[in-house]
Amino acid sequence: MLDAPGGSCDQGSMAEEREYSEEGIDLSLIRWMLSLSPAERLQALEQHVQAVLEIRARNEKILPRNIENPGVTRG
């Protein structure tokens, strides 16, 4: 799995840069993503998608959705 922000970056240079914009955007995530090659960005995205699908599958076993009313779980 690819290292998240702070994993392989030079901590000294990161400390000098602001971590969040005035709007609350995490700039370290943007810097990290821009440090990756396009192939590495795609790999990171695919890993996140796979994690989301696994979480959804686990949740479906615990709280199956009501097909007629998707916002309501069967209990």
pLDDT by residue (tens digit) across 17-42? 679 999 999 999 999 999 999 999 99
Where do the domains of the chain lie? 11-62
Q: What is the pTM of this model?
A: 0.56
The share of the chain scoring above pLDDT 90, in percent, equals 52
CA distance 40 to 34: 10
Confidence of residue 53 (pLDDT cuts 50, 70, 90): very high
Structure confidence at residue 12 (pLDDT)? 53
What is the mean pLDDT of the segment spanning 42-68? 89
Residue 9 backbone phi and psi in degrees, to 5: -80, 155
Give the amino acid at 54. E
The pLDDT value recorded for residue 66 is 65
